Amino acid sequence: MGVNSEAEAPSSITDRVDRWLQLRPLAWASLVANGVLVVTGGAVRLTASGLGCPTWPRCTSTSLAPQHGAMDIHSVIEFSNRMLTFVLAAIAIATFIAAWRTGRRDLRRITLLMGLGIPAQAVIGGITVLTDLNPWVVSFHLLCSLAIIGLSVVLLDRIDHPEPTIARGPVVGLAWATFAAAWLVLYLGTVVTGSGPHAGDLKSKRNGLDPLQVSQLHADVVFLFVGLTIGLLFAAVATHASAQARTAVVVLLGLEVSQGAIGFVQYFTGLPVVLVGFHMLGAALISASVTWVLLSVRSPRETARQRVSSGSSATVTNNSDR
C-alpha cells in the first residue's frame, strides 16, 4: 500500500497542476479580474478614499497595512483595492505558466505583456498616490487596466486560432477606425472625470479644464464612435461577414447606447456615484467588446456549421455537374 501511494503521488500532483493551469479559464479569470479592478478603482475614487493610504508602497509611513487605531472606511477601501493587485499577479503568473506549457510563442508573448501590465499598474498606482491623485496620472492608471482587458480578449481569441487569416479591405479599415474612436472616447472620458467633482479625495486638485467644454467634446466623439459602429454593422451585413462579426458589432452598439444613456443621465443629475460606477463598468465592457469586433472583422472565422454547409453546397454542385 505504501509503495502504491508513493507511486501515485507524483501523478496526483501533476493532475492537480493540470487541472488548475487550464489556459482558457485563466484567460477568462484575467478578463474578469481586471474588470473588477476597474470597478473597485472607481469605488476608491467615488468614496473619496484615494488617499486612505497616504503613501506608497506602504499604507502609512510605518506600516504596510492601515494601523488599527487609525483605521477608517477610507483606508480599508484603499488598502483592499491594493490587495487586489496580488490576486491579479497570481492570475497573471498562472496564465503565463499555462501559456508556456502550450509551447506556442504567440500565447507566451500575449500573457507576458499581460503579466508585465500588473506591476506597471502597481507602480502607476503608487505614483498616483505620491502625486496626491494627479488627475492625469489617474487617467493613465485606468487606461492601463482597459488595455489589459483588451489583451485578455486577444488571448481568448488566439487560443482557438493560432494562425489567424488576416483580412484586408475597406471593412477592416472601418473596424480599425471604430477601434481608434473607441479609445479616443475612453481617453476623453478620463479627461472629463479629471475635470469633475469625483477626485478621489476632497483636497485633490482637478486638471483645470472646463467640465462643460470637455464633456461636449467627449459627447461629440461618442457620436462619431456610434456612427462608425452603425456604418460597420451595415458594411458587415452587406459583405456577408461572419455571424460572429455581426454579433460582435451588435453587442458593441448595444453597449454604446447603454453607455450613452448613462452618461447623459449622470451629467444632468449631478454625477451620482452609482451611475458613475456603472459608467466605469461600461468602459471596461467597451474595451473588451471593441477588441472582439476588431478581431472578428480582421480575422474572420468559418464556423463548423458554415464549413458543413459549404461542403454540402460543393457536393450538390458536383452532382449537378454530373
According to the 3-state scheme, what is the secondary structure of 179-203?
Answer: HHHHHHHHHHHHHHHHHCCCCCCCC
pLDDT digits (tens, 9 = 90+) for 44-103: 988 888 888 888 888 887 888 887 666 788 888 888 888 999 999 999 999 999 999 999
Residue 279 is predicted with a pLDDT of 92
Cα(122)–Cα(135) distance, rounded to whole angstroms? 16
pLDDT digits (tens, 9 = 90+) for 177-217: 999 999 999 999 999 988 888 777 777 888 889 989 999 99
Cα(278)–Cα(22) distance, rounded to whole angstroms? 31
The answer to whether 144 and 121 have CB atoms below 8 angstroms apart is yes
pLDDT digits (tens, 9 = 90+) for 151-180: 999 999 999 888 777 888 899 999 999 999
- Compute the average pLDDT of residues 109-116: 96
- Compute the average pLDDT of residues 252-263: 95
C-alpha cell at 243: 455571424
Cα(256)–Cα(226) distance, rounded to whole angstroms? 7
- Compute the average pLDDT of residues 237-251: 94
**What CA–CA distances, in Å, run from 6 to 11, 12, 18?**
10, 10, 19
C-alpha cell at 273: 456615484
C-alpha cell at 71: 483605521
Residue 318 is predicted with a pLDDT of 43
In which residue are the cell numbers 473588477 written?
36
- Compute the average pLDDT of residues 135-155: 94
DSSP readout, 247-285?
Answer: HHHHHHHHHHHHHHHHHHHHHHTT--HHHHHHHHHHHHH
Residue 200 is predicted with a pLDDT of 74
**What CA–CA distances, in Å, run from 310 to 71, 113, 165, 302, 307?**
66, 38, 18, 10, 5
Single pTM value for the model:
0.85
Q: Which residues neighbour 181 within 8 Å (Cβ) at sequence distance 6 or greater?
A: 221, 224, 225, 228
Cα(74)–Cα(51) distance, rounded to whole angstroms? 8
Residue 65, phi-psi category: left (phi > 0), alpha (psi -120 to 50), beta (remainder): beta
> Is the model's pLDDT at 315 over the cut of 50?
no
The answer to whether 296 and 248 have CB atoms below 8 angstroms apart is yes
Domain ranges of the chain: 18-162, 164-302
Rounded to 5 degrees, what are φ and ψ at 103? 80, 5
For the chain, what percentages of helix, strand and coil (3-state, to nearest 5) are there? 80, 0, 20
- What's the CATH code, domain 164-302? 1.20.120
